[in-house]
């Protein structure tokens, strides 16, 4: 390990630039002609949503560091200013490509399917008349144009909202002639308006809300001449700041911070690409941004709103074929879940396996008179969650229900506050974890009296208790009544809800206490075996690999001769393929129909291999600033299934896989010669 500490910064990829690389891979899905057309549009929108969050969180954080004079660099040795410079260059190229894909690839392809975005120059007389009525009846009553003068200062612009800056000539009724006005489009208004059949050329003719406002903006300023109207959008810092050492009530503190998120410091300005230089400079000055923060969009300034098309257009042939998740073998419909779990551990591989067994287990526990207590962690659950309803029912029936809710689940804080209030009103005990540590572990513990003893039933997962994302994300869940696992989960809940020292766990590895240390020990064990001439292998599947000490350990294992395969969906700061350092390491990313979200850690261990599933990525925050768990898979059949379907199948993928090169770029895999096309996700879908 000592030799690794002196490695040059060039061996580490910058995390922000790696994240931008991931967004490029998502955008590539929008360009893939083998992907159904409306799914391609969805991937374009996802790449835009991802970029929004990148600016709201990552860029905002860098700007704060620069403003404070920070020069602290990560393992790559880039200062915040250097990173910002590269981000600006790469993000501008990415945005340019997004709009090229929209205008040159997707819009023409959609038109061939009679899905049209009708521009103002293409409006028929009938359409123009209908849109005039629409503006007068639906838009005009809710729009509030703001002329700028000393009595009407520049308004506060909501984060990511659609706005227009308007240049005017002439004087108003009071003799004022400021020359500039702002029009804010209410968020309640749809951004795409579907034309009625009697004034459309096809069943799916849409008009952008921005086009309607542009066409009739002069109606907002009677007696004045509109000389320019340009849409714009500003992105703000959306990271919540809660000083946990200075607060008495975390819920109230988070509630207060949610209001400020809408008006945080500005980090990016998007304008229509026809915006005048004068107006660009005016807006940049108002938002205190520089030229590098300006993005000129050749189309609507919020691509995310195009996602509405997906649900508005009823053309199944332009979408992925629907599928029905299978019920796991051994669990019949309406079966007693306690009996099923007692018969043996059950693995759920979502979305290929149904999430219903988890819901059924909690529903049955809520009404089972022998169930005494239920404990669960909740990070993201979604609105109207059946799991939450079951917890409410259990609490109302007199069972001891304890729920650990992570209020600071990014962008789900408001929903989690409502969830906490609902559970407390039902009589459940609600806690918010441990001050200073996010509770990211996914655990459910049900305590049931059977004969004269108590038995623990456990669900542990790699993903959230969210029925919708269980159909969109790949995740693992384990159902077990192993006494050792039950005892460990019980101890973790005690740690979360009470005060006291950490009790030793027999099976589960827990962050921030043992997970990082044990992962390093297992990597070093493989390295020692390789040095001794024994077979050695490591396979890690996670969403992100950033933590420097883990990367150094993997480099050392590679130098020892360990074959290492990393399946990292998003950020990877390890640089593979460097002679003498990482030439035994391959890194691949899978970007397909489903968001890869499973975390699985495999260590060969001289043939008696170990396999852990986890809620944790390999990031500093997951190892040291969150409550996470990694749990071993001990059932041999389940272990073999995960190795075959969850790891080896992904390592053979040549359809949705991208391989990281040593220069930090990703190269898409493709079949070589007569090699058949292999897609891990499609193969798993074929089994449902």
C-alpha distance from residue 280 to each of 273, 283, 494 (Å): 10, 5, 56
The length of the chain, given as a count of residues: 688
**Mean of pLDDT over the chain:** 90
Q: How far is CA 317 from the centre of its chain?
A: 27
Least confident of 69-78, 102-111, 271-280, 595-604: 69-78
> Does residue 2 fall inside a structural domain?
no
Q: Is the pLDDT of residue 175 over 90?
A: no
What digits encode the pLDDT tens for the residues 636-645? Answer: 999 999 999 9
Tens-place pLDDT, residues 176-199: 666 899 999 988 888 999 999 999
Number of separate domains in the chain: 3
What pairing do the DSSP bridges indicate for beta strands 192-194 and 225-236? unpaired
Neighbour tally for 322: CB within 10 Å: 6
**H-state helical runs in 217-355:** 250-261, 277-287, 308-312, 337-342
CA angle 266/272/278 to nearest 5° reads: 75
The predicted structure's pLDDT at residue 244: 40
**Any catalytic annotation for residue 456?**
no
Residue 197: C-alpha distances to residues 11, 123, 136, 155, 529 (Å): 59, 13, 20, 39, 71
> Would you list the DSSP string of 203-216?
TEEEEEHHHHHHHH
Domain identity same for 197 and 225: yes
Q: Give the whole-angstrom CA distance, residue 632 versus residue 612.
A: 4
**Ranges 96-110, 189-203, 348-362: which has the least confidence:** 189-203
Is position 330 within any domain?
no
Alpha-carbon separation of residue 321 from 35, 316, 414, 472 (angstroms): 11, 7, 34, 13
| 251/370 same-domain check | no
CA–CA distance, 639 with 330 (Å, rounded to integer): 17
The answer to whether residues 397 and 412 belong to one domain is yes
| Residues forming a β-bridge with 450 | 453
Taking the C-alpha atoms of residue 678 and residue 654, their distance in angstroms, rounded to an integer, is: 5
Q: 658 near 27, Cβ under 8 Å? A: no
Query: pLDDT value at position 383?
Result: 62
Comparing 589 with 436, the larger pLDDT belongs to 589
CA-to-CA distance for 207 and 139, rounded, in angstroms? 14
Percent of the chain with pLDDT over 90: 73
| Integer-rounded Cα radius of gyration of the chain | 27
- What does the block give as tokens for 647? 């790891």
Asked if residue 138 has pLDDT above 50, the reply is yes
Do 541 and 493 belong together in one domain?
A: no
In a domain, 332, yes or no: no
pLDDT value of position 189? 85
Q: Average the pLDDT over each of 14-18, 259-263, 524-528 and give the range with the smallest value.
A: 259-263
User: Do 426 and 288 share a structural domain?
Assistant: no
Whether residue 544 sits in one domain with residue 500: no
- pLDDT, average across residues 551-575: 97
Q: Which residues are CB-contacts of 146 (< 8 A; sequence separation ≥ 6)?
A: 152, 155, 181, 182, 183, 184
Q: From the candidates 214, 349, 350, 440, give the one annotated as an active-site residue.
A: 440
State yes or no: cis peptide before 351, omega within 30 of 0: yes
Instruction: Provide the 3-class DSSP secondary structure of residue 314.
Output: coil
Q: What's the rounded Cα separation, in Å, for the pair 494 and 296?
A: 53
State which residues form the domain around 675.
Answer: 514-686
Same domain, 142 and 287: yes
The predicted model gives 539-545 an average pLDDT of: 97
What are the tokens at 567?
């399946």
CA angle 529, 531, 535 (to 5 degrees): 45
Does 331 fall in a domain?
no
CA pair distance 261, 246, nearest whole angstrom: 20
Which among 286, 318, 350 is the end of a domain? 318
Same domain, 15 and 37: yes
pLDDT for residue 599 is more than 80: yes
Q: Cα(258)–Cα(248) distance, rounded to whole angstroms?
A: 17
Q: CA torsion sign, 249 to 255 to 261 to 265?
A: negative
pLDDT at 213: 94
The answer to whether residues 493 and 375 touch, using CB atoms and an 8 Å cutoff, is: yes
> Given pLDDT bands bounded at 50, 70 and 90, which one contains residue 253?
very low
Q: Tell me the pLDDT band of 249, cut-offs 50, 70 and 90.
A: very low
Q: What residue has token string 């360009």? A: 31
> Alpha helices, DSSP H only, in 450-591?
483-497, 515-531, 548-560
Instruction: Compare 152 and 667 and report the one with higher pLDDT.
Output: 667
One domain, residues 500 and 587? no
User: 287 and 424 in one domain?
Assistant: no
Q: Domain containing 574 — which CATH number?
A: 3.30.870.10
Please compute the mean of the pLDDT values over residues 599-609 and round it to a whole number: 97
Does residue 409 register a pLDDT over 70? no
Please say if the pLDDT value at position 228 is more than 50: yes
Structure tokens at 195: 């034309």
pLDDT in tens, 41-74: 999 999 999 999 999 889 998 998 888 887 777 7
Q: Are 374 and 430 in contact (CB under 8 A)?
A: no
Q: What is the pLDDT of residue 75?
A: 85
The answer to whether residues 231 and 271 touch, using CB atoms and an 8 Å cutoff, is yes
- What six digits make up the tokens of 414? 């408001």
Question: Residues 326-345: pLDDT tens digits?
Answer: 988 778 777 899 999 999 99
Shared-domain flag, residues 269 and 369: no
User: Does 191 fall in a domain?
Assistant: yes
Specify whether the backbone of 645 is left (phi greater than 0), alpha (psi in -120 to 50) or beta: alpha
Range in 59-63, 482-486, 617-621, 644-648 with the lowest mean pLDDT: 59-63
| pLDDT tops 50 at residue 597 | yes
Going by C-alpha positions, the residue among 388, 235, 375 that lies closest to residue 297 is: 235
CA 552 to chain centre: 27
Query: Which one of 458, 477, 507 terminates a domain?
Result: 507
Tokens (6 digits) for 453: 């003893």
Peptide bond into 512 cis (omega under 30): yes
Q: Is 559 part of any domain?
A: yes
Token representation of residue 317: 């042939």
Q: Does residue 485 form part of some domain?
A: yes
Does 4 map to a domain?
no
| Backbone φ and ψ of 266, nearest 5° | -75, 140
Cα–Cα dist 410/414, whole Å: 10
pLDDT at 630: 98
Is 421 or 252 the better-scoring residue by pLDDT? 421
Instruction: Check: CB of residue 65 under 8 Å from CB of residue 80.
Output: yes
Considering the domain architecture, whether residues 143 and 264 belong to the same structural domain is answered as: yes
The three-point CA angle 543-546-548 to 5° equals 150
CATH number of the CATH domain containing 251: 3.30.1840.10
């Amino acid at each position: 390990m000592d030799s690794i500490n002196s490695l040059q910064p060039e061996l580490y990829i910058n995390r922000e630039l790696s994240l931008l690389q991931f967004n490029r891979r998502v955008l590539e899905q929008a360009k893939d002609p083998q992907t159904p057309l409306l799914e391609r549009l969805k991937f374009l929108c996802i790449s835009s949503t991802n970029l929004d969050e990148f600016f709201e969180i990552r860029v905002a954080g860098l700007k704060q560091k620069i403003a404070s004079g920070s020069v602290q660099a990560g393992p790559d040795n880039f200062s915040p200013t250097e990173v910002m410079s590269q981000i600006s260059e790469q993000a501008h190229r990415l945005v340019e490509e997004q709009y090229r894909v929209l205008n040159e690839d997707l819009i023409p392809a959609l038109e061939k399917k009679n899905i049209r975005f009708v521009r103002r120059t293409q409006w028929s007389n009938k359409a123009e008349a209908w849109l005039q009525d629409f503006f007068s009846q639906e838009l005009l009553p809710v729009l509030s144009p703001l002329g700028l003068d000393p009595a009407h200062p520049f308004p506060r612009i909501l984060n990511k909202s659609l706005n227009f800056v308007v240049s005017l000539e002439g004087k108003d009724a009071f003799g004022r002639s400021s020359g500039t006005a702002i029009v804010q489009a209410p968020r309640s208004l749809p951004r795409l308006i579907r034309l009625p059949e009697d004034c459309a050329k096809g069943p799916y003719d849409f008009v952008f809300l921005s086009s309607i406002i542009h066409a009739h903006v002069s109606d907002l300023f009677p007696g004045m001449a509109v000389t320019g109207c340009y849409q714009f959008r500003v992105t703000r810092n959306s990271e919540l700041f809660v000083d946990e050492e200075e607060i008495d009530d975390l819920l109230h503190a988070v509630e207060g911070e949610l209001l400020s998120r809408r008006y945080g410091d500005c980090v990016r300005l998007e304008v229509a690409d026809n915006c005048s230089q004068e107006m660009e400079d005016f807006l940049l000055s108002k938002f205190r941004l520089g030229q590098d923060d300006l993005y000129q969009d050749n189309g609507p300034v919020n691509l995310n709103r195009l996602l509405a098309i997906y649900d508005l257009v009823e053309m199944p042939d332009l979408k992925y074929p629907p599928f029905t998740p299978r019920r796991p073998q051994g669990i019949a419909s309406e079966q007693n879940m306690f009996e099923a779990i007692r018969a043996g551990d059950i693995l759920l591989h979502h979305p290929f396996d149904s999430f219903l067994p988890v819901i059924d287990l909690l529903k049955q526990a809520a009404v089972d008179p022998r169930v005494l207590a239920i404990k669960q962690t909740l990070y993201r659950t979604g609105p109207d969650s059946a799991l939450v309803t079951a917890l409410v029912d259990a609490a109302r029936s007199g069972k001891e229900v304890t729920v650990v809710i992570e209020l600071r689940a990014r962008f789900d804080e408001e929903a989690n506050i409502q969830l906490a209030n609902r559970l407390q009103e039902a009589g459940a005990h609600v806690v918010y974890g441990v001050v200073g540590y996010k509770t990211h572990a996914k655990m459910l513990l049900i305590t049931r009296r059977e004969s004269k003893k108590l038995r623990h039933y456990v669900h542990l997962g790699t993903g959230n208790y969210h029925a919708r994302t269980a159909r969109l994300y790949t995740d693992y869940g384990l159902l077990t009544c192993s006494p050792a696992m039950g005892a460990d989960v019980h101890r973790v809940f005690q740690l979360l809800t009470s005060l006291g020292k950490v009790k030793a766990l027999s099976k589960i590895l827990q962050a921030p206490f043992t997970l990082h240390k044990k992962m390093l020990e297992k990597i070093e064990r493989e390295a020692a075996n390789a040095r001794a001439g024994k077979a050695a292998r490591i396979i890690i599947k996670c969403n992100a690999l950033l933590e420097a000490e883990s990367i150094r350990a993997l480099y050392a294992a590679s130098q020892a001769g360990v074959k290492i395969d990393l399946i990292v969906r998003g950020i990877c700061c390890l640089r593979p393929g460097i002679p003498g350092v990482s030439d035994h390491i391959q890194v691949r990313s899978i970007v397909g129909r489903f968001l890869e979200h499973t975390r699985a850690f495999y260590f060969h261990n001289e043939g008696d291999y170990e396999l852990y599933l986890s809620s944790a990525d390999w990031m500093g925050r997951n190892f040291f600033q969150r409550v996470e768990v990694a749990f071993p898979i001990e059932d041999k059949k389940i272990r073999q299934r995960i190795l075959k379907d969850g790891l080896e199948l992904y390592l053979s993928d040549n359809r949705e896989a991208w391989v990281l090169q040593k220069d930090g770029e990703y190269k898409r895999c493709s079949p070589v010669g007569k090699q058949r096309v292999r897609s891990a996700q499609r193969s798993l879908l074929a089994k449902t």
